């Protein structure tokens, strides 16, 4: 029933990407490539790692089992012509881009910034420099894009755990993000380690603080850039397509389930606040005139919601509706 409904409706997602180029941080790009065959290019920021160049790392990604369905449609040469590796590093000023790379990626119409240190045990310096300052570097680069239509920032639904209910709006963080970046840059790790518990206040870890500060940076550019902030809950392994249960890390509930080798049970009123990767992909596209905030969560206590079987159609409803909604699945 759902498949028949999806096939009977126009694919506005593919139409939105047709002829467009994307600059992507922290992702592989294969989902967009498969769903949107008429996309122009994906410029993917990749840093050299373990002696392998960005091009070599991208080739390894293409040869992974995750891309089997994509390889049924495209040859490796065709993929290489669509997905362009950009040698750079989110932790370096200017992303450590060469002038040639900068000239190439700044031609894109869409930026999707998902790169982040997602370790909950990361220290203050690592979290702020990677997640907060890294976002600042991407925003600085975005100002040089010649025809930017959308800047998508992947935040987290746990960026403000001090709030009983997370509304789809911006919140003022505990600190000024620019001041925090400067403080972390000039402080040694020993000093920061001693101050961490005091800096965090009621926050559970440095990750949540760094993401709240990064959100503030994105919001303050809303008058100059077309911003979309997405707040997913805990990202879990792939639900169905292309490899059910696949994950590239053991963070959060994935590691717990593997360690326990069993399912987790809970009382009926409670639920796990998780989201599969596919739902993140399906929330990437939205037309924005101002700052937009979407909570990709199971909970809908704080905002109006619409329950639709297909999240594709749910997202299209969001595009046509003036109200902000939670994506339900």
What is the per-residue pLDDT across 291-313, written as a single tens digit (0 to 9) for each?
Answer: 477 666 666 543 323 222 233 33
Q: Which domain holds residue 72?
A: 2-320
CB 298 within 8 A of CB 329: yes
> Does residue 327 form part of some domain?
no
- Counting the structural domains of the chain, the total is 1
In this prediction, residue 109 carries a pLDDT of 94
Which stretches does DSSP call E strand in 132-171? 150-154
Tokens of 143: 């100002």
Supply the CATH number for residue 16's domain: 3.40.50.720
CB 24 within 8 A of CB 38: no
Residue 222, pLDDT > 90, answer no
33 lies in a domain?
yes
Percent above pLDDT 90 for the chain: 40
Residue-level pLDDT at 258: 57
Structural contact between residues 81 and 148, judged by C-beta atoms closer than 8 angstroms: no
Tokens standing for 117? Answer: 């240190």
Residue 326 lies in a domain: no
Rounded to whole angstroms, the Cα distance separating 23 from 44 reads 6
In a domain, 196, yes or no: yes
Asked whether 153 and 231 are in contact (CB, 8 A), the reply is no
pLDDT at position 1: 46
Per-residue model confidence as pLDDT tens digits over 249-262: 555 555 555 555 55
| Mean pLDDT taken over the chain | 76
- Residue 328 maps to a domain: no
Both tokens assigned to 304: 């109006």
The whole-angstrom separation of Cα 93 and Cα 102 is: 13
**pLDDT of res. 25:** 94
Give the C-alpha separation, 149 to 287, whole Å: 9
Q: Is residue 43 part of a domain?
A: yes
Confidence band, pLDDT 50/70/90 cuts, at residue 123: very high
Q: Averaged over 186-191, what is the pLDDT?
A: 95
Q: For residue 66, what is the DSSP state?
A: G
- Residue 325 inside a domain? The answer is no
* 14 close to 37: Cβ distance less than 8 angstroms: yes
């Amino acid at each position: 029933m759902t498949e028949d409904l999806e096939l009977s409706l126009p694919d506005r997602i593919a139409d939105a990407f047709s002829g467009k180029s994307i600059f992507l941080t922290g992702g592989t790009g294969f989902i967009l490539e498969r769903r949107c065959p008429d996309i122009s290019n994906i410029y993917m920021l990749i840093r050299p790692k373990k002696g392998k160049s960005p091009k070599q790392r991208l080739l390894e990604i293409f040869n992974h089992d995750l891309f089997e369905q994509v390889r049924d449609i495209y040859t490796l040469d065709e993929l290489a012509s669509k997905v362009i590796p950009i040698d750079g590093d989110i932790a370096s000023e200017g992303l450590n881009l060469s002038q040639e790379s900068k000239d190439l990626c700044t031609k894109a119409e869409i930026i999707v910034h998902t790169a982040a240190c997602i370790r909950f045990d990361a220290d203050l310096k690592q979290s702020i420099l990677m997640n907060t300052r890294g976002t600042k570097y991407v925003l600085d680069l975005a100002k040089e894009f010649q025809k930017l239509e959308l800047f998508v920032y992947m935040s987290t639904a746990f960026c403000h755990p001090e709030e009983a209910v997370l509304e789809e709006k911006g919140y003022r963080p505990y600190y000024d993000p620019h001041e925090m970046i400067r403080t972390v840059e000039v402080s040694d790790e020993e000093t920061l380690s001693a101050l961490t518990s005091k800096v965090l206040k009621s926050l559970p870890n440095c990750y949540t603080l760094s993401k709240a500060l990064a959100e503030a940076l994105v919001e303050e550019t809303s008058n100059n850039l077309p911003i979309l902030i997405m707040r997913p809950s805990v990202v879990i392994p792939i639900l169905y397509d292309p490899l059910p249960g696949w994950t590239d890390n053991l963070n959060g509930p994935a590691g717990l389930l593997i360690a326990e080798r069993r399912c987790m049970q809970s009382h009926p009123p409670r639920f796990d606040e998780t989201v599969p990767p596919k739902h993140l992909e399906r929330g990437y596209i939205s037309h924005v005139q101002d700052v937009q905030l979407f909570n990709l969560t199971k909970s809908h206590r704080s905002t109006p919601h619409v329950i639709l079987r297909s999240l594709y159609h749910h997202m299209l409803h969001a595009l046509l509706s003036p109200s902000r909604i939670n994506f339900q699945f």
